[in-house]
Structure formats: C-alpha cells, structure tokens
Amino acid sequence: MSRSNDPKNFFQTDSALNETARKASKSKNTKGSPIKLPSKLLAVAPDPQHGAQIYVAEAAGCVKRIMLETGETIKTFTGPAAPLTSVAVSPTSDTLFAGCWDKSIWTWSISTGKPVRKLQGHSDFVKALLLITLRGGKELLVSGSADATIVVWDAQSGEQLHKLKGHTRGVLALALDSFEHEPGTSDTAVIFSAGSDREIRRWSISVANATQVTDEPFPIIQHETNVDAIHFDSDGDLWTASADRSAKCLSRSHAWVEDSCFEHPDYVRDVVVDEEGGWLVTACRDEHVRVWDKATGKLHHVFEGHYEEVTGLVFLSGQKVVSVSIDGSVRQWSLKSRELTDAIKLAEEEKQGLVKEEKPEKKEGLMTADEEAELAALMADDDDDDELPPLVE
C-alpha cells in the first residue's frame, strides 16, 4: 500500500486549512526583495570580506554564501545530515564554522568549499558560535550548546582548550564585550552568554585560562524565560531578545539593569541596533521585523514580508537589515530615512486598500481559471441541451 506525506491527504481542522491558505497567499509577496531557498533558514552571518554577501545556515544541513544584489548562491557548503543552527566566519583564516544538531561543529575551507574537520566536545545540539581575536591575531572559537556548557577551541587547530560550566540549561547566545577589550589588542577577551535558564553570564577567556566572573550583579536575570539573542552597542550597553515576548536594553552604567523594554506579541528571536539612525530592529516569531525608536521606545514601523517565524537578523553598512526565516527566504530592509518613510506610506495605503493587488502574469495563449469558468458558463447558456466536456488546459 502506498503512503503519502501530503497534508491534503490527512484530516485538518478549518483553522489549520485557513492558516495554510493564508501562508500560501502571503508567500507570493515580493516585500524585502526575497531570495528564496529550498530549506528553512535557522541562522545568518555577515561576510567579513564582502559587505554585499551573507552566509545562511539551513535546516537541510548546508551553509550557503549568498550575493544579496543578485540573489545568487555563490557557494554551498555541504556535509552535515542534520540541521545547522549557527554560523561564524573567520576574517583571516579562510574558515567557515557551523553548529549542528549532530552535537558537532563543522568547518570548511571557504576558498575550496570542502569540509576540513568536525569539532566534537558537546553532548547535545550546538546552538551558538562566536569567534574572538586575541593579541597577535590568535583566534579562538567559542561554542554554546543545549548541554548547558560552553567550549573554547583553538580556531586554527581545532584543539579544545576549555569547557565552561555555569548555566543550568541550554546556552543559546554568545556575545563579545568589545567595550572591555578591543579585539586583537589583549591576551584576554570578555564574553557574555545567555540561555534557556534566563540567565546572562560573564566570562574571561584566554588561551591559558577561562573563568566565570561572578561579581555582582552576575549572573544577570532581567527576563522571565529564554534569552535567545544578545548584542552590544557602541556604548557598551547590552541588547537582549527573549521568549518572554520582549527585547530589552541593559545599561552598563547602571549595573546591567533594564533601561528600556520593547514589548512584542510573540517570542523575540533576534535584535540588532542601527547606531546611525537610532533604531532598534527585532525579529519575532509572529513573522514580522519591527523597527523601534531607541530613544523613545515607540514602535516606528513593521516590515511584513515573511510568512513564517523570523529566525535571524544582520545589520550591514548602508543602514540595511537582512532577515532570514523558517519560510526559507532572505529579505532586505532599508533603514535610510527616505526608504523607511516610503515603506511606512506604502503600508498605510495597503491598510486603506489603496494599493491594487498584483494580478498573476498571464501566459500567452492560455486563460486564467476565472476566464475558463466564465467561458464554460457562456457556452452552457448558448446550448443548455448539450453536455459540455470538462475544459482541459
């Protein structure tokens, strides 16, 4: 007996059918100049050598290097048979790193696209990666895992240097505190980690040693549940995204207490800051990318292009934000004053029904389904006694 995985062959509730139809309809929109890929996108990272390129990690177990201007996939890095959750790119060693559900970190040569090695030291999914550069160009890779540990690696040799324990649940995010030490100028780096235990912890890392900083107020607890992303701004303040449906700014000068809070209708997955424009940009499980005024905390605009959960953001030069989603698309949003004003105006016109819906392109020599139905009705009226055969495209 044949079996089918097609959801149309299984019982579905009206709400499930309506949701499927809604997403199918929304998937046709061209907002954000979508670059469509065949798999769910779980992470994104900028290309440190090329400002117009990014790397995306797919649930299909590959990393793609994408040219944003053309949408071209320049190179595909393959090997894993499980989803990739995180990606990091070395600006100096021609190496790409990706964290995987198979509990390992995969590495590739960027120039050849071939796998180099697998780093194995975790006992559960690898959820976050961070590259840090010490004095003399020494590069370390830091990984966080669902096994609640952080591992520090020699990025060039793949040697495991330290395993750090402190979190009681999975580690979901890592960030370098460059306000403490400018990258490449010190033998020690300070990083922050966050996870599903809602705690944010601080660590001092060198080649020889790695220790947790436990002075007050660490660990920081400012969220009610998972902290999915953390990023520092140029003032050294920490921005967070949480499954408690909020993004927050934690003030360095006020001992990391909440300075401002941005409430969302669903889980917040990522956050980036536009220093020039004064914007905070957030990615949400409700499919939207939101732009907030940092100073006032007010919502400025909502970009509505994705039709599944938005999983990651990167901020690029030229005030451009790139978002990736479970829907398999990469979309680009401008935060420049004029483009943002135009986007707000267009969104308002759409709400008022002033923007005409784009009609599907009609292929020469073929009729649309509505035209065929109309023709069939006319023919039936002309000769009610004749039984017409069904129309076939």
Tell me the domain boundaries of the chain.
Answer: 28-351, 360-393
**pLDDT single digits (tens) 233-281:** 999 999 999 999 999 999 999 999 999 999 999 999 999 999 999 999 9
* Complete DSSP assignment for 80-115: -SS-EEEEEE-SSS-EEEEEETTSEEEEEETTT--E
pLDDT of residue 14: 76
Q: Which amino acid, one-letter code, is at 77? A: F
Report the SS3 class of residue 359. coil
- pLDDT for 317 equals 94
What gap in Å lies between CA 248 and CA 387, rounded to an integer? 68
pLDDT band at 363 (very low <50, low <70, confident <90, very high): very low
Q: From CA 90, how far away is CA 167, in angstroms rounded? A: 27
188, 133 contact by CB (below 8 A) = no
State how far the Cα of 34 lies from the Cα of 331, in Å rounded to an integer. Answer: 5
Instruction: Find tokens 């920081």 and name the residue.
Output: 220
Mean pLDDT confidence for 92-96: 94
Closest CA to 393 of 355, 364, 375, 367: 367
- Whether the per-residue pLDDT at 357 is higher than 60: the answer is no
Higher-pLDDT residue of 73 and 49 is 73
* SS3 of residue 208 by DSSP: coil
Q: What are phi and psi of 250, to 5 degrees?
A: -105, 125
pLDDT tens digits, residue range 153-190? 999 999 999 999 999 999 999 999 999 878 889 999 99
pTM score of the predicted model: 0.86
pLDDT in the model for residue 361:
44
pLDDT value, residue 161 = 98
Is residue 238 within 8 A of residue 247, CB to CB? The reply is: no
Q: Tokens for 331, please give them.
A: 């979309």
Cα four-point dihedral sign 10, 11, 15, 17: positive
| The predicted structure's pLDDT at residue 105 | 98
State residue 11's pLDDT score.
Answer: 64
Which CATH architecture describes the domain 28-351? 7 Propeller (2.130)
Percent share of the chain, pLDDT over 90: 80
- Token readout for 306 is 């994705």
Tell me how far CA of residue 313 lies from CA of 123, 230, 320, 325, in angstroms.
28, 12, 10, 9
Dihedral sign for Cα 257, 261, 267, 269, please.
negative
The predicted structure's pLDDT at residue 385 = 45
User: Pairing relation of β-strands 246-251 and 238-242?
Assistant: antiparallel
Beta strand 329-334 pairing with 320-325 = antiparallel
Sequential DSSP letters for 146-163: TTSEEEEEETTT--EEEE
For 285, other C-beta atoms within 10 Å of its C-beta total: 19
